Amino acid sequence: MKVSTEDNAAPELEQYRDYLKLLADLQLNPRLRVKEGGSDIVQQTMLDAHRDLANFRGKTDLELRAWLKMILTRNLLTVARRYGTHKRAAGREVSLQDRLEKSSILFHRQLVADQTSPSMKLIKQERSEQLAGALLRLLDDERSAVVLKHFHEWSVAEIAQHLGRTQEAVAGLLRRGLKKLREHLREEA
């Protein structure tokens, strides 16, 4: 893909909004979401990308995605600093970039085996975008439960406490969320 920096580039960037939203939701500390939503951070990321698109030197879709992820990471770090989450013990800190990379790996892990051919990269990208879209079609609490359980590896008890629900209610959210997720992915296949 040849990346354009002309006025018609806006739709090209828009196609990454759902993907960035999912990455932001995966990385944003769930306790900060009440103060700053993933959509707000993605919106700032899109504004920054539009503003700086003339300086983007990449030529491929993968380079554009990496550039957008870098902007998203910077914006996530800004939010973390704004609310003082950087004051934790340095020994316990995991860099946000490492966590973003880990979540991207988790995101892709069971979709497609790691292949290097261009066609396999395209398939992997399409499946990632399908998963992002399917996750965003879930109800907010279903998506939160699924993301916290399967991407943040929280226990059902932790999710219940965070969402202010019973463990049984969270188990129901997980069952319904995963069922809907499978259905949405089948629809798009």
1-114 and 137-189 share one CATH topology? no
Question: Is the model's pLDDT at 8 over the cut of 50?
Answer: no
Exposed / middle / buried, residue 12 (Cβ in 10 Å: 0-12, 13-18, 19+):
middle
Domain 1-114 coded CATH 1.10.3470: no
* All structural domains of the chain with their residue ranges: 1-114, 137-189
> Tens digit of pLDDT for each residue in 92-141?
444 555 555 555 555 555 444 444 566 776 677 677 777 877 888 889 89
pLDDT of residue 129: 74
Q: How confident is the model over 61-69, as a mean pLDDT?
A: 85
CA-based end-to-end distance of the chain: 23
pLDDT of residue 122: 67
Instruction: Compute the distance between CA of residue 53 and CA of residue 13 in angstroms, rounded to an integer.
Output: 10
Asked if residues 43 and 120 have their Cβ atoms less than 8 Å apart, the reply is no
What is the CATH code of the structural domain delimited by 137-189? 1.10.10.10
> Is 0.75 surpassed by the pTM of this model?
no
Asked if residues 146 and 135 have their Cβ atoms less than 8 Å apart, the reply is yes
